[in-house]
Amino acid sequence: MEIRVPLMRRMYMAVCAYVLFGPAGYGAIAPPCGKTLAVYKGVAVKSNDKYQWGLNGGGSCGGRGDFGLQFQCVEYVKRFYYEALGITRALNWTGNAEDFFFSADKDQVNPFGQVVNNKGLLAFSNGNATPPEPDDMLVFGSTDKLGHIAIITSVTASEVTFVEQNWSITGTSTLPLSVSTTGYKIHDRVSTSHSGQTHLYTVLGWLRDPDRQQSCPPSFTDDFNRLDGPVGNGWTNTTGNTDGDLVISNGALAGTPGRAAIYRPVDLSSLVTASATITQENGFGGSGRYVGFLFGNNGSVLSGYGVFFGRDPQNTGELLVELILNGTQLLASSAATPDSFQFGPSITVSVTFAPDGSITGSVIGNGVVFTFDLGVVSRASLPGSNIAVYTQGAADGGSNPVVDNVTISHFCNIVPE
């Protein structure tokens, strides 16, 4: 027997059912095909309807569009790079998500013998010294070697957040990020089965357009927030320290009355920038006090090209920036130092040492920025391949320099794999 329900009553029943139980069936969680789940830089992440997560045959609810199968993960990254970043070659990119990583900068025959075209991108393996950045593609590998791909939207010291199609129902997800002395490692995507077995989507790394303007986040940082004592964390005290070694004291690098330095290996074949915060009682003053960086240091206290910061006259004068080679002053910038530069309780110094030997930098203190350019120096005489942090303390018995928050950065686009 057919049961017929008047239209108004059917509508009323439908509304009541929705209020009581919410939407039912596939629509309960997976929004309709093509519905926006999230938006990043104006490009919508869309629902793959009942095929989300590979269910129901892992199809593509929107069929084939300009950027491929709608709405697979690959379709979004191609559409994002085209629409948000203006990279028109994205239209022609081929392959599954995992293929993108291995064909980043060359045509690649994948393990199945299929030729996947060159994406013209820089690839950074997970754990690379170059950190992931917003707009990078985040590529995952999987057992089936199809993989997964997403777009990074933000990076903090401990997390990477990204947008993605055909996985998270919100179109966004976050993974932990570990930072070590060797690089940045995004944690694999792990799901735990009912019995506790783990299922992995391994983070292969991140991809970046080489022409994109980028910041240069540090490849190494040290805030010295460790227990008082030896410096550690990859640093070694130089030989020839005159009044003992540098140590950690109260979460910072404590200088000595005399000359002392710590060093660590650094890649000087590319542009490298070192920066630090320097503090001292009564401002940065006193007799013969300096802090600086030594590029090409060989493990002895004054070797290499040193860029030192002090003041001239020593106790009350203007900022002094000196270029030192193996302990001998080559240049001093005091003449260029503006009279208005006044030391506050601390200064932040930054020095960039380029492959051609040029040295530039800045000093920020008391709300004023002072920049300097020491020109080109020869690279032929670099005595070593380290970078050193140098301090020269209070010969007059006063307080010694304190160094904190050392960072070392390389030019972002120089170290792709």
Partner 1 sequence: MHKLFRPVVGIIILVAAGLIAAAVAFPFAARQIPSADPQLPSLSSHPQPGPAVSSSSTAPAITWSVPQFSATLFPGTSTTTTITFRSGQPLGSTTVDVTPSLSGLVAVAPTSFSKINANQDYTLTLTLAAPQGFQKRSFGGTIHIRNAATPPKTYDTPLPVNLQTDWNTLADASSGLTFALPLLGVSPVVQDVGSTSDSAFVIDVQVPNPSDGTVHSLLRILALPNASNLDIQQWFEQNIDDSNGTLLSSGAFQLRHLPNGPAMVSVGPFPDGYQGAPVAQAYLLSQTGDLVYTIKQSQDLQLTDFGYPPSAAAGVLTSILGSVR
Contact 294, 305 (CB under 8 A): yes
Query: Which residues of the chain form contacts with partner 1 (CB under 8 A)?
Result: 25-26, 28-30, 50-61, 63-64, 68-69, 72-74, 94-97, 111-115, 142-146, 148, 166-167, 189, 191-197, 199-202
Please report where in the chains the tokens 């800045």 appear, as a residue. Answer: 362
**Beta carbon nearer to partner 1, 31 or 257:** 31
CB of 190 to partner 1, least distance (A): 9
Question: DSSP characters for 63-93?
Answer: EEETTEEETSHHHHHHHHHHHTT--GGGGG-
**Beta carbon nearer to partner 1, 144 or 356:** 144
Q: Cα 156 from chain centroid?
A: 9
CB of 225 to partner 1, least distance (A): 35
Burial of 385 by CB count in 10 Å (0-12 exposed, 13-18 middle, 19+ buried)? middle
Contact 100, 137 (CB under 8 A): yes
Torsion on CA atoms 367, 403, 224, 366, rounded to nearest 10: -10
Q: How far apart are CA 201 and CA 203, in angstroms?
A: 7
**Beta carbon nearer to partner 1, 196 or 367:** 196
CB of 25 to partner 1, least distance (A): 5
Nearest Cα residue to 324 out of 304, 351, 296: 304
Contact 27, 153 (CB under 8 A): no
CB of 44 to partner 1, least distance (A): 19
CB of 141 to partner 1, least distance (A): 8
Report strand pairing: 346-353 vs 272-279: antiparallel
CB of 77 to partner 1, least distance (A): 11
**Beta carbon nearer to partner 1, 68 or 131:** 68
Please report where in the chains the tokens 């208005």 appear, as a residue. Answer: 340
CB of 208 to partner 1, least distance (A): 21
**Beta carbon nearer to partner 1, 153 or 168:** 168
Q: Provide the residue count of the chain.
A: 417
CB of 7 to partner 1, least distance (A): 16
**Beta carbon nearer to partner 1, 145 or 226:** 145
User: What is the gyration radius of the CA atoms in the chain, in angstroms?
Assistant: 28
**Beta carbon nearer to partner 1, 47 or 241:** 47
**Beta carbon nearer to partner 1, 95 or 283:** 95
- In the three-class reduction of DSSP (H, G, I as helix; E, B as strand; rest coil), residue 50 is classed as helix
